[in-house]
Chains A and B, each alone.
Chain A
Amino acid sequence: MKKLPIFAGIGMAALLAGGLAVWSGQNDPVQAQSSSGDTSDEKALRVRFQIQNDPVAPTIAPQNYDVTVVVFADYQCPFCRKLHPTLESLMAKDPKVKLVYRDWPVFGAASEEAARAGIASTWQGKHAEFNDALMTISGRVNSQSIRAAADKAGVDWAQLQSDLTTHEEEIDGALRRNAQYAAMLSLQGTPGLLVGPYLIPGAIDTDGLHEAVAMARTDPEGVGVQ
Chain B
Amino acid sequence: MTAQLRALSSRAFLGRCGAALLILLAALPGVISAPAAAQAAHIDASIHAESAAPRPGTTTRIAIRMAPESGWHGYWSNPGDSGLPAEADWTLPNGVEVGALRHPAPALLELAGLASYVHKGAYTLLADLTLDDDIAPGAALPLRVDMSWLACSDTLCVPERASLALQLTAGDGSADSASASLFHAAEAALPQAGAAQADVARDGPDWRFTVTGVRDVTASSARLYPAEDGWFTASSPQHIARTDDGWQITVLHPPIPRRAPFAASLPMAAAAMPLPPVDPLRPSRWPMPRRPRRLRQTPPQRPPSRPLRSLYLPRRFHQPLATIPARYGWRSPVRYWAGCCSI
A40 contacts across to B, CB distance below 8 A:
335, 338-339, 342
B321 contacts across to A, CB distance below 8 A:
44, 47-48, 51, 185, 194, 197-199, 222
Interfacial residues of chain B within 324-343, with CB under 8 A of chain A in the complex: 324, 327-328, 330, 332-335, 337-339, 341-342
B34 contacts across to A, CB distance below 8 A:
183
Contact of B318 with A by CB under 8 A: yes
Cβ contact within 8 Å between B320 and A17: no
A78-B338 contact in complex given A169-B1, A205-B313, A225-B317, C-beta closer than 8 Å: no
Q: How far is the CA of A41 from the CA of B323 in the complex (A)?
A: 7
Q: Mark A39-53, 1 if CB is under 8 A from B, else 0.
A: 111011111100100
Cβ contact within 8 Å between B158 and A78: no
Minimal beta-carbon separation of B114 from chain A (angstroms): 5
| Binding-face segment, B2-10, B166-174, B281-289 | B2-10
A46 contacts across to B, CB distance below 8 A:
338
Cβ contact within 8 Å between B314 and A202: yes
Minimal beta-carbon separation of A204 from chain B (angstroms): 6
Cβ contact within 8 Å between A190 and B317: no
Minimal beta-carbon separation of B277 from chain A (angstroms): 20
Contact of B111 with A by CB under 8 A: yes
Cβ contact within 8 Å between B342 and A43: yes
Quick one: which of A21, A107, A221 contacts B322, CB cutoff 8 A? A221
A47-B82 contact in complex given A81-B114, A183-B35, A205-B311, C-beta closer than 8 Å: no
Cβ contact within 8 Å between B112 and A82: yes
Q: How far is the CA of A43 from the CA of B343 in the complex (A)?
A: 11
Contact of B142 with A by CB under 8 A: no
A208-B320 contact in complex given A46-B338, A186-B332, C-beta closer than 8 Å: no
| Binding-face segment, B21-29, B61-69, B199-207, B290-298 | B21-29
Cβ contact within 8 Å between B3 and A18: yes
Q: Mark B242-258, 1 if CB is under 8 A from A, else 0.
A: 00000000000001000
Contact of B229 with A by CB under 8 A: yes
The chain B residue sitting closest to A200, CB to CB, is: B317
Cβ contact within 8 Å between B81 and A139: yes
Cβ contact within 8 Å between B341 and A43: yes
A139-B10 contact in complex given A7-B32, A184-B337, A188-B39, C-beta closer than 8 Å: no
A4-B342 contact in complex given A138-B255, A222-B322, C-beta closer than 8 Å: no
Minimal beta-carbon separation of A214 from chain B (angstroms): 11
Cβ contact within 8 Å between A222 and B156: no
Q: How far is the CA of A194 from the CA of B333 in the complex (A)?
A: 15
Contact of B104 with A by CB under 8 A: no
The chain A residue sitting closest to B33, CB to CB, is: A5
Cβ contact within 8 Å between B7 and A79: no
A107 contacts across to B, CB distance below 8 A:
82-84, 150, 157, 159
Q: How far is the CA of A136 from the CA of B112 in the complex (A)?
A: 9
Cβ contact within 8 Å between A198 and B320: yes
B320 contacts across to A, CB distance below 8 A:
196-199, 221-223, 225-226
Contact of B36 with A by CB under 8 A: yes
Cβ contact within 8 Å between A186 and B333: yes
Quick one: which of A2, A20, A85, A203 contacts B155, CB cutoff 8 A? A203
Contact of B31 with A by CB under 8 A: yes
Q: How far is the CA of A33 from the CA of B14 in the complex (A)?
A: 25
A211 contacts across to B, CB distance below 8 A:
315
A138 contacts across to B, CB distance below 8 A:
81, 113, 233, 235, 255
Minimal beta-carbon separation of A203 from chain B (angstroms): 4
6 residue pairs, one from A and one from B, having the closest CB atoms = A222-B320, A43-B338, A202-B155, A189-B158, A197-B320, A82-B112
